[in-house]
A and B are shown apart, each in its own frame.
Chain A
């Protein structure tokens, strides 16, 4: 079986999510990588060095510059004539592009897989991870998105794949990129951080959220996350959100502060190795999944913790 993996990149570097996707793909067959973008020779070379990648298909054109789904999907669909499966990370990029590829191929996508059980059988979370389904796809070709926290990452170095240029068609012109308002942060990325400190609505304001959490995160070299309630209240930007429909994280240590633990939030972090919860309500559901809990007032605890660490 030959498997085409969508490489997620920012024009310069390959995102870690790609490496987990390559690992999942390697369980299905020979891994080929698709790098779509503009002026992406460097990315294609980097993709060729990923352990386990046998071939890189590089599609470069100005229409692919911002990797819009409308432009990338036809390129992927065309390459699928000579591949048996298409895998993309279940990130916002992969989730935007993969179903579009699936529909072009008349395939029902298998979303967000947790494991490969066989060539057509996978497990995936449903109902916010409250149930795990084992599913079997009867489509001849497969289109799959991969929950990247569920797979060990392939090594970024060690491969020596060949790079082949593929024709990139012009954009249909039906969509165009306008702007990207990127969250600037010196901290590690949420989805690849070893430690995450995450805050909820209990912080009461954006000022207090940052005044209390940022120093703690700095001390721990941690990424900062947030519950939906905190993001909705404007304490933190959207890309901080951890949960069913936000980011799925599985760090070594997840410290949930002032987060009660709605099932939608637990869905995004319950595979963390160690969960620490700080909450003033000792009945909060977060304590049912926490390895270490501390009941008390976060406004007293967090500064003391930051100082003593």
Chain B
């Protein structure tokens, strides 16, 4: 079966984001960018499905600026077979992203689409669910385990523990942190990735209107916490905790 994975180029998770002085957003100039960590897990899961003989082809898709090409090259170097970049310099919201992905799913006819559960920049946690709704497919969100036979059994990390659901294929899966540990691309694979098929498209090619529905009026830094005091002993800490009224 064919598996589609969606990846997004975002600020590297080790970088502390800085809000621009004019309040227009977060400063991304000269900041290290990487593949969204949850999307790396999605790519890894697709590769593992292929290694198990379940998946036959992995198509990686990204919607973003020309530089998202690097993100897709990373996916190819990890083990995806080919890539589609839907290139746009506009910031595309999850609703429009899911519409484009739905169109690509119509063309590619995958049996499974794997996405990160959320991007660490806009923190929306919405694209996978929206895509499943648009396609009328079942969804296995926040997955910590995926088993595929003629259906997909997905274990989900939920607030009260772990929930397992069984999904008819085709299905959408979104990844949580403990689904797997993504591999690093080896140097030979990075070289090989350069010759893998790579298509560049535009949102208009899919007839999707990417006009934003949500306008950002301003972006500010959150209220800063002041560092407090350091105590020198457990006795002092106990006294402080008693002062807070939390310990008997």
- Name the 8 nearest CB pairs between A and B, nearest first: A291-B228, A99-B129, A175-B138, A103-B133, A103-B130, A108-B213, A99-B126, A127-B17
**Chain B residues whose C-beta falls within 8 Å of the C-beta of A131 in the assembled complex:** 17, 19, 25-26, 219-222
For the complex formed, measure the closest distance between the CB of A125 and the CB atoms of chain B, giving whole angstroms: 7
Of the listed stretches B55-63, B80-88, B92-100, chain A binds B92-100
B247 located at the interface, meaning its Cβ lies under 8 Å from any Cβ of chain A in the complex:
yes
| Complex-state Cα separation, A292 to B234, whole angstroms | 12
A56-86: which have CB < 8 Å to B? 68-70, 73
| Partner among A95, A183, A253 whose Cβ is within 8 Å of the Cβ of B125 | A95
Q: A103-B134, A109-B94 are in contact. Are A293 and B228 (CB under 8 A)?
A: yes
Apart from the given pairs A92-B141, A131-B220, 5 other A-B contacts in the complex at a CB distance below 8 Å: A98-B126, A99-B130, A109-B95, A228-B177, A247-B159
Of the listed stretches B68-76, B163-171, B183-191, chain A binds B163-171
A133 located at the interface, meaning its Cβ lies under 8 Å from any Cβ of chain B in the complex:
yes
Q: A91-B159, A127-B123, A128-B123 are in contact. Are A289 and B225 (CB under 8 A)?
A: yes
For the complex formed, measure the closest distance between the CB of B67 and the CB atoms of chain A, giving whole angstroms: 19
Size of the A side of the interface (Cβ < 8 Å), in residues, is 91
Cβ B158 vs Cβ A135 within 8 A: no
Cβ B160 vs Cβ A182 within 8 A: yes
Closest chain B residue, CB of each to CB of A8:
B159
| Complex-state Cα separation, A220 to B237, whole angstroms | 14
- For the residues of B in contact with A, the DSSP-based class is mixed
- For the residues of A in contact with B, the DSSP-based class is mixed
Cβ B123 vs Cβ A112 within 8 A: yes
Cβ A108 vs Cβ B93 within 8 A: yes
A139 located at the interface, meaning its Cβ lies under 8 Å from any Cβ of chain B in the complex:
yes
A91-105: which have CB < 8 Å to B? 91-93, 95-104
| Partner among A69, A129, A183, A309 whose Cβ is within 8 Å of the Cβ of B241 | A309
The contact string, 1 if C-beta is below 8 Å from chain B, for chain A 220-252, is 100000001001100001110000110100001
The contact string, 1 if C-beta is below 8 Å from chain A, for chain B 224-245, is 0101111111111110110010
**Chain A residues whose C-beta falls within 8 Å of the C-beta of B150 in the assembled complex:** none
A165 located at the interface, meaning its Cβ lies under 8 Å from any Cβ of chain B in the complex:
no
Of the listed stretches B43-51, B104-112, B113-121, chain A binds B113-121
Cβ A100 vs Cβ B129 within 8 A: yes
| Complex-state Cα separation, A10 to B156, whole angstroms | 17
Q: A69-B129, A174-B138, A238-B144 are in contact. Are A132 and B219 (CB under 8 A)?
A: yes
Cβ B230 vs Cβ A231 within 8 A: no
B162 located at the interface, meaning its Cβ lies under 8 Å from any Cβ of chain A in the complex:
yes
A115 located at the interface, meaning its Cβ lies under 8 Å from any Cβ of chain B in the complex:
no
For the complex formed, measure the closest distance between the CB of A255 and the CB atoms of chain B, giving whole angstroms: 8
**Chain B residues whose C-beta falls within 8 Å of the C-beta of A194 in the assembled complex:** 246
**Chain A residues whose C-beta falls within 8 Å of the C-beta of B177 in the assembled complex:** 228, 231-232, 245
Q: A109-B126, A178-B166, A181-B162 are in contact. Are A245 and B118 (CB under 8 A)?
A: yes
A residues sitting closer than 8 Å to B (CB atoms) are: 10, 68-70, 73, 91-93, 95-104, 106-112, 121, 125-139, 172-183, 191, 194-195, 219-220, 228, 231-232, 237-239, 244-245, 247, 252-253, 263-264, 270, 274-276, 278, 282, 287-295, 301, 304-305, 308-309
Pairs across A and B, CB under 8 Å, 20 listed: A70-B132, A92-B141, A92-B156, A95-B141, A96-B129, A96-B141, A98-B129, A99-B133, A102-B133, A103-B95, A111-B123, A135-B216, A136-B215, A174-B136, A178-B166, A180-B161, A231-B177, A237-B161, A294-B237, A309-B241
B194-228: which have CB < 8 Å to A? 212-222, 225, 227-228
| Partner among B121, B233, B244 whose Cβ is within 8 Å of the Cβ of A274 | B244
**Chain A residues whose C-beta falls within 8 Å of the C-beta of B176 in the assembled complex:** 238, 245
Closest chain A residue, CB of each to CB of B229:
A292
Closest chain B residue, CB of each to CB of A301:
B234
| Partner among A93, A130, A220 whose Cβ is within 8 Å of the Cβ of B17 | A130
